[in-house]
Structure 1
Amino acid sequence: MGKLKHPIIVGVLTLISATGLYFLFNWMFTRPDPASAQAAPIENLFQAHFIMMAFLFALIMVIMLYAVVVFRRRPGDDTDGPHIHGHTGLEIAWTIIPTIVVVGFGVYGWVLFDEVTAEQPDEMVVEVVGRQWSWSFEYPEADVRSARLVVPVNQPILLEMYSEDVLHSFWVPEFRVKQDLVPGMMMPLRITPTEIGNYRLQCAEICGTSHSDMLADVQVVSQADFEQFLIDSAFRYSDLSDEARGEQFYFDLGCNGCHSLDGSVNAGPTWQGVYLREELLDDGTTVIADDEYIRDSILNPDAQIVQGFNPGIMSAQDFVTRIADLEAEILRNEGVEIDVIADLIAFMQTLDQ
C-alpha cells in the first residue's frame, strides 16, 4: 500500500481537478444554443476537447504541485536527493499514448467533417453573394432576391457562395459551421436549421474598413411562413416605382455595406438626407449632391471625396460592372431598359433628414 499511496492520491486529485476544469471551460467558453443538425456533432467535438484539455492540464499541474509540496526538502536536510536514471517504460508510454490521442482526434475530426459536409436528400439551393461589405441571397427556383436569409426549419439547405471582391467568411454561431468565400470560386456550405428563430450572419474574415458591419439577418421559419416569404418577395423590377426599384437596388448592389439610411457613419457617407445636401470635400470646397454629382460619384467615386472619408474604398470598375450586369439581366428577363443609377437617385430623394 505504501508504494501505491502517492499514485492513488495523485489520481484522485487529478480526477477532481479535471472535473472542475471541465465545468470551468464550459462556463468560460460560452456558446449560443445550437440551431442546426450540423451543430450537434460539432458540439460533441467541443466537449471531447474540453475533457482532454481538462484532464491533461489537471494531470500536469497536480503532479507538479503534489511533488513540490510532498517531496520538498525539509529544514536541516542537506543530503543529496536519490539519483534516478530514468524509466524506459514510462518514456515509451508518454510518447505512444499522446501520439495515439492526437491521431485519434485527427481521425475523429475527419469523420466529423465528412458528416457535416455530406450531401443531403432534397436540398434547397440558396445562392449567397458576399461583397464589401454586405450580403445578398437569391433563391433560383423562385427567382427571388433578398437582403436577408430566410430558410424553412428542418429543410436541408445548400448554400452556393460567391465573393465579388476579397475573402469573406459565412458564420452564424448558432449553426456552428463556417465557410470562407473565395473570389473566383463557388464555395458550398450545407446547413439544416432545426430551431425557428432570428439569428445574425456575420463575416468572420477581416475584409476591410467596414468588416465589423458586414452583417445580415437570418430567419428560420415554418414551411408556411417561408412560402409566404417567397410570395411576398417575388416581383418584377419593371412593376415597381422608380423609388421602390432604387431601394431594391440599394440592397441588391450592396450599397448598404457602406452607406447607412439612418445617419450612422460607415465606410461612406450616409444616404439619409443626402439629396441636395451640401457636402464639404476633402480639398476644402463644397458641392451640392444633385443628380449630376451623385451619378459622377457612382461612376468615378474617387474624383470628389467627402471630407472625413478615404479614397479607394469603392472600386468604380467593379461597381459599374455590377450595374451593367443587373441592367442586362433585367432587359433579358423582363424586356425593359432600366437606368439603375437614376432609380438609386430617386430612392435617395425619399430619404429625408
Structure 2
Amino acid sequence: MRNVRHFVTVTALVLLVTYLTYIGLTSLGLMPLAASAQAGPIDWLFDIHVMVMSFLFSLITVILVYSMVVFRRKPGETGDGAHFEGNTGLEIFWTIVPLVAVIGFGIVGADNLRQVRAVDPNALEVRVIGYQWAWRFEYPQGFSSTTLYLPANKQVLLKMESPDVLHSFWVPEFRVKQDLVPGRVTELRITPNLEGEYKVRCAEICGTSHAYMESPVVVVSQTAYDAWVTEQVALYEAELLASEGKPDAKRGEKLYTELGCKACHSLNGTPGTGPTWKGLFGRENRPLADGSVVALVNEEYLYESITAPNAKTVQDFKANAMPSFSYLRDSQIYDLIEFIKTLK
C-alpha cells in the first residue's frame, strides 16, 4: 500500500512539474514570428520535442529529489539500505519505450519533411546568388535585385548558387534554411503567408564580413508584387536602352552598392579587405604580390580585375579574397569602371 502511495505521489508530481516546465519554456518565446506555410509543421514538431524534454526533465528531477527527501537515512539508522540485484521487467520497459519513441519521432519527422518539401508546379522561380558578402536575386523577367520581393501565399522555388565559398540562406521567420555550394545548384521552397519585412542572413561562416551578409526580404500581396515587377521591368528595359550608349558613373555607383563592392573597397582611401577605389584609375607602377608591376591602372586592367580578380593580386592583399564578377554584362562592368574614374 505504501508503494502505491509513493507511485501516485511521484506520478502527480511528474505531471505537475512537466506542465510547469512546458509552460515556462513556451512562454520564453524561443521561436521567432512564423511567416511561411513551412513554419507550421516545423513549429508543431518543435513543440512536441519541448513537451518530451519537459517530461524527461521532470521524470528524472522529481524521482531524484523525491528519493533524496523521502528515503533519506533517518536519525539513528546505522545499517545498510536494501540491496537490489536488478529488475528485468523495468530494464526491458526502459529499453523498449525509448526505442518506440525514437522510431515514432523518425516517422513524424519524415512526414514533416514531406510537408515542408511539397512541390507546387506553379511556383515562382527566383535565382539566388550568394557571394562574399552580399545577395543578389534574379527574377524570370530578366531583372535582378538586392531585395527579395515575394508574393504572399504563393510558393517560391529558390534556385541557389555561389561563385566562391559555402553560404547558407536563412530567414528565421520562414524556418527553413539551405546551403549554397560552389559548383552546384541547390533548391529551397518557401510559401510566405504573412506580409511584412524580414531579413535573409548567411548562416554559414564565409569570411571576414560574414556578419554583414544580409539582405531585405519583403512579402507583399500579389497585386503589390505584380506592380513591383512591372516597375522593375520598366527600369531594367530603360537600363538596357541606356547601356547601348556610353558608360554611366551613376549606374556604376548603384552597382557598387548592389553587388556588395563596398564591403571590401572603400571610397575614402582607407584599405579594407581589398584596395580602396579612391585615386585608383590612372595610378602608375602598381606593385603586385608576385613582384611584378602594373605600369598603368587603365580600363583594361580594371576589367581584368573585375572578371578575373586573382590574375593580378595587388601587393599586401590576399589572393582569392574576391570572387569573379564575369557574369556581369560588359555594360555593367564599364559602368563600374566609369564610377571608379570619378574617384580622384
CA distance in 1, matches of 2:279, 2:6: 77
Equivalent of residue 304 in structure 1, options 310, 314, 317: 314
Show the counterpart of 2:241. Answer: 239
CA distance in 1, matches of 2:29, 2:43: 12
The reply on whether 1:258 has 2:268 as its aligned counterpart is no
**CA gap 1:295/1:159 in 2 versus in 1, 3 angstroms:** closer
**CA gap 1:257/1:31 in 2 versus in 1, 3 angstroms:** farther
1:76-115 equivalences in 2 (<5 Å): 76-115=76-115
CA distance in 2, matches of 1:127, 1:264: 34
SS in 2 for 1:120: coil
Cα RMSD after superposing both structures: 3.2
Show the counterpart of 1:73. Answer: 73
**CA gap 1:228/1:81 in 2 versus in 1, 3 angstroms:** same
Show the counterpart of 2:46. Answer: 46
CA distance in 2, matches of 1:215, 1:295: 27
Show the counterpart of 2:338. Answer: 346
**CA gap 1:17/1:351 in 2 versus in 1, 3 angstroms:** farther
Show the counterpart of 1:334. Answer: none
Is the Cα–Cα contact under 8 Å of residues 291 and 345 in structure 1 kept in the other structure?
no
CA distance in 2, matches of 1:192, 1:97: 37
The reply on whether 1:9 has 2:9 as its aligned counterpart is yes
**CA gap 1:156/1:72 in 2 versus in 1, 3 angstroms:** same
1:314-329 equivalences in 2 (<5 Å): 314-315=322-323, 319=324, 322-323=325-326, 325-327=327-329
Show the counterpart of 1:133. Answer: 133
Show the counterpart of 1:331. Answer: none
Show the counterpart of 1:64. Answer: 64
Is the Cα–Cα contact under 8 Å of residues 249 and 344 in structure 1 kept in the other structure?
yes
User: For structure 1, which segment, 67-76 or 239-248, has the greater mean C-alpha deviation from structure 2 after superposition?
Assistant: 239-248
The reply on whether 1:313 has 2:305 as its aligned counterpart is no
SS in 1 for 2:120: coil
The reply on whether 1:120 has 2:120 as its aligned counterpart is yes
Deviation sequence 1:26-47 (CA, Å, 0-9, x none):
2446221100010011000110
> Structure 1 stretches of 5 or more lacking a match?
328-337
Q: CA deviation at 1:261?
A: 7.3
Sequence identity percentage:
45
Show the counterpart of 1:332. Answer: none
**Residue-pair matches, total:** 329
In the alignment, residue 99 of structure 2 is paired with which amino acid? T
Q: CA deviation at 1:98?
A: 0.6
CA distance in 1, matches of 2:268, 2:51: 47
Deviation sequence 1:86-131 (CA, Å, 0-9, x none):
2211111100001111111111111100110010242111111111
1:20-31 equivalences in 2 (<5 Å): 20-28=20-28, 30-31=30-31
CA distance in 2, matches of 1:261, 1:194: 41
Show the counterpart of 1:37. Answer: 37
In the alignment, residue 84 of structure 2 is paired with which amino acid? I
CA distance in 1, matches of 2:343, 2:117: 44
Is the Cα–Cα contact under 8 Å of residues 269 and 276 in structure 2 kept in the other structure?
yes
The reply on whether 1:150 has 2:156 as its aligned counterpart is no
In the alignment, residue 159 of structure 1 is paired with which amino acid? L
Q: CA deviation at 1:326?
A: 2.8
Q: CA deviation at 1:281?
A: 9.4
CA distance in 2, matches of 1:261, 1:153: 39
> Structure 2 stretches of 5 or more lacking a match?
none
Show the counterpart of 2:213. Answer: 214
**CA gap 1:58/1:270 in 2 versus in 1, 3 angstroms:** farther
**CA gap 1:258/1:221 in 2 versus in 1, 3 angstroms:** farther
TM-score by length of 1: 0.81
In the alignment, residue 346 of structure 1 is paired with which amino acid? E
CA distance in 2, matches of 1:30, 1:178: 17
In the alignment, residue 213 of structure 1 is paired with which amino acid? Y
